[in-house]
Structure 1
Amino acid sequence: MNIANYFQKNQMIAKVEKVQKFKQKSLNLEDFDLAEFPDIILNCDSLRSLILQRNRIAELPKEIGIHLRGLKHLSVQFNNFQSFPECLKELTTLVSLNISHNPIKHLREDIDCFKELKCLWCNSCGLKTIPKSLGNLSKLETFGARNNEIKILPKTITQLKELSWLSLEGNCIEQLPNGFHKLSNLHHLNLNRNHFKQIPKVLVKLKSLRFLHLQRNNIKMLSCDTIMALINVKICLINNPIENGQEFIEFKHLLLNPSDYQQNPTNEEDMITDSSEDDSDWENSTDTLYLNYDSSSQSPQSDEDDEIVKNIPKCSRFFLCQ
């Protein structure tokens, strides 16, 4: 074991033991180069938030639901799970789950076993479908499935009455299911980089909608009736082959060109006005959501900072990041 691994392992053990001793509620083991789930975590029955992102973990212990039965927030993004961990079904108290950037291919067919779930992120997981049971998550407020291979949304998604934040960027979706207007609380909708040929007319009926992203679709013509009906919605249509865009240049709620985006400095800030503290990647459509429920921790790094850290030798990086 080299010196960096030695210090890293001991730092991990020290953090876990501190949580256990003082009955702390949060544990962040991001980027600890963990190849396996540390079993000593199972002794931390006080945990409510566990962050294991950016490691190499491929399995979770079967007993996790027994020992961490009070866990509410779990982030395992950027690991090596080849399928959705079966044992997670025992964590029935989960309020948020981030399993993004794992090649799991499928969500559980009975994803509604997480009755308390309010936030679910599964970006870049190779998903082709969304299970129908997702519609039974009556408390779900945020759902992100960016950069997958989804073509059709299940009609049951329209049952999510509490859903306010939906991000489906980077899929193969051509149309929204019938009844989509039933999402009465939907506030943010990200449909960038899909296959839409027009702004879905059903969006006109979404009275709570305020931010709509439709960048890089196949929209050629804009309907005046639709645009007028969405006058209170900020709509980003950059990089669409729009032929009649000149007719709408006076509409301030439309962003049709990259210059419009740059000339509207308040737009990005507005787009995250009533998001949670961890949803700051919405306007940039980044690949993942940084979940951090430890109020004592610092703000997450920017992408630029992350790249700088990656280029620092491991031993130096470890001491710098601690």
Structure 2
Amino acid sequence: MNRVFEFFRNHHILAVVEDALENLSFTLNLSRFQLTEIPDLVHACESIMKLFLNHNQLTQLPDYLDSFHRLQILTLDYNHLQQFPTVICNITTLRELNLSCNQIDELPPEIGRLRELETFWCNNTGLTKIPDEISKCKRLETFGARGNQIETLPLNFGLLNRLKWLTLENNQLKSLPQSLIGLKRLVHLNLKSNQITEMPEFLSSLKKLQFVFLNFNRISEVNEEILDKTQFIKMINLNDNPVKDSIDITKHSHIVVDRPAAQMSASNNSDIDANDDDENINDSDLSDWENSIETSDIDTTDESSEENDIEDISILIPELSRYITNFN
């Protein structure tokens, strides 16, 4: 049965690649095929702009990938990569890159060549450090490195002034560089489950910020003046921190913090002042961020579906079924 399965899988893969070649497709989806290597025929797909290779068993990438001069989206999450494939740094047209759920503990300095990169996911890879050169990726709007071993951020991280979504949940961060005051477009900041001991003062300067997750850290004191200056933020989650009970949550309704039921009830009945600061994002800008709590685990998708896979296989079976009798 395994040989039959491999037969259909291999022919399905070739059919997908050949179809992309014949139609000069912009998208090539080879996700979830249990690939251990990329078929040589892919080399001829020079027109593709999106290449989905996630959920396979790849351990390396072919050198010819840097000849794809139109490639903008590359997904490699859930593979068996043991290090960052340096060939990626030569694909300077990339806008979206996902390397999550591999074994990549280091990003090379050459990452700075990806000047067009807008979205970068490297969650759960064992990453220990982010290189200074990441600051050269000036177009980055979304950066996710959850579930790693990062202890510090580059001092120049704040130069990524287009960032809107930053999630560094479940790392080893103890403090943050003051340069983050430069992230003037940041809307969503997830620092949950780190070792941060103080509420960052720069939060009050990021006027577009709407959602901040600082829960499960080691914050024991919070400056009331900082809280007053962050009223424009919709929610700052301080749950599961050793914060003193001195925070008046009836005054600071945007703070989420563990409280006895009676205090929580009083907080829910308090009035919330609207902040109409012109620098805050407007309603249309909020549409992508209002569900940030629920979507904080987002990586990316491969635009594939089981229905499409089933449909493709159903087309192939009549043509290939005559070969089945060749197996013992």
The TM-score bracket by the shorter chain reads 0.7 to 0.9
Q: Which residue of 2 aligns with 1:283?
A: 294
Give the deviation of 1:249 after TM superposition.
4.6
Paired with 1:321 and 1:229, the residues of 2 have a C-alpha distance of 56
Pairwise mapping of residues 91-240 of structure 1 onto structure 2 (< 5 A)?
91-233=91-233, 234-240=235-241
Paired with 1:32 and 1:13, the residues of 2 have a C-alpha distance of 11
Q: Are 1:245 and 1:256, in contact at CA under 8 Å, matched by a contact in 2?
A: no
Q: Which amino acid in structure 2 is aligned with residue 290 of structure 1?
A: T
Paired with 2:114 and 2:217, the residues of 1 have a C-alpha distance of 33
Q: Are 2:29 and 2:52, in contact at CA under 8 Å, matched by a contact in 1?
A: yes
**RMSD across aligned C-alpha pairs, in angstroms?**
2.8
Q: Pick one of 273, 277, 294 that aligns with 2:287.
A: 273
Question: Which SS does the other structure have where 2:178 is aligned?
Answer: coil
Cα deviation per residue 1:213-239 (whole Å; 9 max; x = unaligned)?
112111223322112211121112222
- TM-score in terms of structure 1 length: 0.81
The gaps in structure 1 that reach 5 residues or longer are 264-269, 302-317
Q: Are 1:174 and 1:197, in contact at CA under 8 Å, matched by a contact in 2?
A: yes
Q: Which residue of 1 aligns with 2:5?
A: 4
Q: Which residue of 2 aligns with 1:48?
A: 49
Give the deviation of 1:254 after TM superposition.
2.0
Q: Does 1:61 align with 2:62?
A: yes
Paired with 2:125 and 2:289, the residues of 1 have a C-alpha distance of 24
Query: CA separation of 1:222/1:79 partners in 2, compared to 1, >3 Å: closer, same or farther?
Result: same
Give the deviation of 1:4 after TM superposition.
2.7
Give the deviation of 1:205 after TM superposition.
1.1
The size of the alignment, in residue pairs, is 289
Query: CA separation of 1:196/1:5 partners in 2, compared to 1, >3 Å: closer, same or farther?
Result: same
Give the deviation of 1:5 after TM superposition.
2.6
Paired with 1:290 and 1:181, the residues of 2 have a C-alpha distance of 27
Q: Are 2:174 and 2:195, in contact at CA under 8 Å, matched by a contact in 1?
A: yes
Q: Are 1:169 and 1:285, in contact at CA under 8 Å, matched by a contact in 2?
A: no
Give the deviation of 1:55 after TM superposition.
0.6
Paired with 2:78 and 2:212, the residues of 1 have a C-alpha distance of 28
Give the deviation of 1:257 after TM superposition.
4.3
Give the deviation of 1:74 after TM superposition.
0.2
Query: CA separation of 1:281/1:184 partners in 2, compared to 1, >3 Å: closer, same or farther?
Result: closer
Query: CA separation of 1:15/1:82 partners in 2, compared to 1, >3 Å: closer, same or farther?
Result: same
Q: Are 1:82 and 1:103, in contact at CA under 8 Å, matched by a contact in 2?
A: yes
Question: Which SS does the other structure have where 2:248 is aligned?
Answer: helix
Query: CA separation of 1:213/1:23 partners in 2, compared to 1, >3 Å: closer, same or farther?
Result: same
The gaps in structure 2 that reach 5 residues or longer are 269-283, 314-328
Q: Does 1:256 align with 2:257?
A: yes
Paired with 1:190 and 1:219, the residues of 2 have a C-alpha distance of 15
4+ long deviations beyond 6 Å? none
Give the deviation of 1:320 after TM superposition.
9.2
Paired with 2:289 and 2:75, the residues of 1 have a C-alpha distance of 19
Give the deviation of 1:187 after TM superposition.
1.2
Q: Which residue of 2 aligns with 1:313?
A: none
Cα deviation per residue 1:197-218 (whole Å; 9 max; x = unaligned)?
2211121111121111112111
Question: Which SS does the other structure have where 1:84 is aligned?
Answer: coil
Question: Which SS does the other structure have where 1:56 is aligned?
Answer: coil
Paired with 1:245 and 1:284, the residues of 2 have a C-alpha distance of 31
Paired with 1:230 and 1:203, the residues of 2 have a C-alpha distance of 7
Give the deviation of 1:291 after TM superposition.
3.4
- TM-score in terms of structure 2 length: 0.80
Moved more, 164-173 or 37-46: 37-46
Q: Which one has a bigger Cα radius of gyration?
A: 2
Q: Which amino acid in structure 2 is aligned with residue 28 of structure 1?
A: N
Query: CA separation of 1:235/1:111 partners in 2, compared to 1, >3 Å: closer, same or farther?
Result: same
Query: CA separation of 1:181/1:127 partners in 2, compared to 1, >3 Å: closer, same or farther?
Result: same
